[in-house]
């Protein structure tokens, strides 16, 4: 199956089923077979791995992964594609196909996904799980972000996403792409762009470039952060209005618990000017400031 996902194959398959790709759901299928193989190869899947795939499509990537992994849990929201994939994957006995949305709401994973991942890990004797997927553009950010808060967290996430999002993930302080997502990933993961891909390698063609990205959580980095939920909330708070000065963002986020004088003292203790913006600070400086804020709140 994996060797057949060409543009002509997809067009014939869709035509025979009497359906069309749904642009609202980000249905753009990777048709360059070398890049499809690169996506699977980069994840370094073996029989220790339970793979989670979000966006089954017609099951081409699923089939590639199933031949290497202990098992695959694959999620598809479109009933038409789910049925087509089920027909193609009949002989893959280590594949579990789920028909529902990956997200419970705009920003949260559906709990059933991780319930099934944990059950499949036990069923197949897998010792870790990895995300490998051609992610629909419209859900890529919440999927990646939320998988860093589940149990167990993935050993790695190797995904195709919009290039603009990939640039944000690896952005440096002071750049236009540096954001809360940049910090959330960089404080706990090694993130790298494996390949940039033009629209021509997908069917239908998207309007933007894409990228294969690999995100590897590092236990030592996560431990250094400490209270991950607090830091996540802190970063989102100071980046809500990225052009605001950091002082104003902190007052806005924590004004009920801290006075303006408290905020000024915190910034002075950190050696930070009142006119500095959050987007100018490196991850380490934001981690240090977050700890100081949390300690000040705990002392109230």
Q: Which residue ranges make up each domain of the chain? A: 2-218, 226-299
Q: How many CA atoms lie within 13 A of 161 on its CB side?
A: 26
Predicted confidence at residue 107, as pLDDT, reads 80
pLDDT at 2: 46
Rounded CA gap, 196 and 46, in Å?
Answer: 25
Query: From CA 154, how far away is CA 150, in angstroms rounded?
Result: 8
Going by DSSP bridges, is the β-strand pair 128-134/157-162 parallel, antiparallel, or unpaired?
parallel
pLDDT digits (tens, 9 = 90+) for 71-125: 999 999 999 999 999 999 999 999 999 999 999 988 889 999 999 999 999 999 9
In tens, the pLDDT along 34-67 reads 999 999 999 999 999 999 999 999 999 999 999 9
Which 3 state secondary structure label does DSSP give 285?
helix
Can you give the pTM of this predicted structure?
0.93
**Domain 226-299 in the same topology as domain 2-218:** no
Question: What's the CA gap between 56 and 81, in Å, rounded?
Answer: 8
User: Above 70 in pLDDT, residue 10?
Assistant: yes
pLDDT tens string 129-163: 999 999 999 999 999 999 999 999 999 999 999 99
What is the C-alpha to C-alpha distance for residues 140 and 87, in angstroms, rounded to an integer?
27
pLDDT over 80 at 1, yes or no: no
- Kindly report the average pLDDT of the chain as a whole number: 94
**In the chain, which residue ranges form alpha helices assigned H by DSSP?**
7-17, 33-42, 60-66, 79-88, 111-124, 140-146, 163-169, 180-186, 219-225, 228-239, 246-254, 260-269, 283-299
Architecture of domain 226-299: Orthogonal Bundle (1.10)
- Lowest-pLDDT range of 24-33, 88-97, 150-159, 166-175: 24-33
Q: What gap in Å lies between CA 7 and CA 28, rounded to an integer?
A: 11
Instruction: For 198-218, write each residue's pLDDT tens digit.
Output: 999 999 999 999 999 999 999
Name residues whose C-beta falls within 8 Å of residue 129's C-beta, 6 or more positions apart in sequence: 49, 50, 51, 52, 117, 121, 152, 154, 155
For residue 98, what pLDDT is reported? 98
Measure the CA angle with vertex 174, ends 170 and 180; round to 5°. Answer: 55
Is 1.10.3720.10 the CATH number for 2-218?
no
């Amino acid at each position: 199956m994996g060797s057949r996902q060409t543009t002509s194959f997809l067009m014939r398959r869709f035509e025979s089923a009497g359906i069309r790709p749904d642009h609202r759901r980000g249905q753009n299928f990777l048709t360059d077979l070398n890049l499809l193989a690169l996506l699977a190869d980069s994840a370094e899947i073996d029989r220790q791995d339970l793979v989670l795939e979000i966006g089954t499509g017609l099951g081409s990537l699923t089939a590639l992964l199933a031949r290497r992994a202990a098992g695959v849990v694959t999620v598809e929201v479109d009933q038409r594609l789910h049925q087509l994939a089920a027909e193609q994957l009949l002989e893959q006995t280590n594949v579990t196909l789920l028909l529902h949305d990956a997200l419970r709401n705009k920003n949260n994973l559906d709990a059933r996904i991780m319930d099934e991942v944990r059950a499949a890990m036990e069923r197949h004797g897998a010792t870790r799980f990895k995300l490998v997927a051609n992610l629909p553009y419209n859900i890529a950010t919440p999927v990646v972000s939320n998988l860093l808060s589940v149990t167990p967290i993935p050993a790695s996430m190797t995904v195709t996403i919009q290039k603009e999002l990939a640039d944000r993930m690896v952005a440096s302080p002071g750049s236009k792409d540096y954001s809360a997502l940049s910090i959330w990933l960089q404080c706990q993961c090694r993130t790298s762009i494996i390949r940039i891909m033009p629209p021509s390698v997908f069917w239908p063609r998207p309007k933007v470039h894409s990228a294969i990205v690999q995100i590897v959580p590092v236990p030592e980095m996560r431990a250094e952060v400490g209270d991950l939920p607090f830091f996540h909330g802190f970063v989102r708070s100071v980046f809500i209005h990225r052009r605001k000065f950091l002082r104003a963002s902190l007052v806005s986020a924590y004004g009920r618990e801290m006075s303006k004088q408290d905020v000024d003292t915190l910034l002075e203790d950190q050696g930070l000017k009142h006119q500095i913006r959050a987007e100018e600070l490196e991850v380490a400086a934001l981690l240090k400031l977050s700890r100081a804020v949390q300690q000040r709140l705990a002392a109230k």
